[in-house]
Amino acid sequence: MAIYESDHTKFMREWMAKHPEELEEQKKGRALWWDRPQTLETQRQYDEGKVPNKAYPYSTES
């Protein structure tokens, strides 16, 4: 049984094979938006700001 691969995925695989220099640009973009260092202070602030989930999230009652 064949594994499905979208047209976009096929295009990107072919394009990256033809343009290997773009791998570095891809890594720079990821580092810019996703791979950010976090401090313990930042993590503590995130933890303090969490709100507990409702038992049933689709309920219209408070």
> What digits encode the pLDDT tens for the residues 17-37?
999 999 999 988 888 888 778
pTM of the model: 0.47
- pLDDT reported for residue 19: 95
Concatenated DSSP letters of the chain: -PPP--HHHHHHHHHHHH-TTHHHHHHHHHHHHT-----HHHHHHHHHT--PPPSSTT----
- pLDDT reported for residue 1: 63
> For 3-6, which contacts have Cβ atoms below 8 Å and span 24 or more sequence positions?
none
> What digits encode the pLDDT tens for the residues 45-61?
999 999 888 888 887 77
Domain borders along the chain are: 7-49
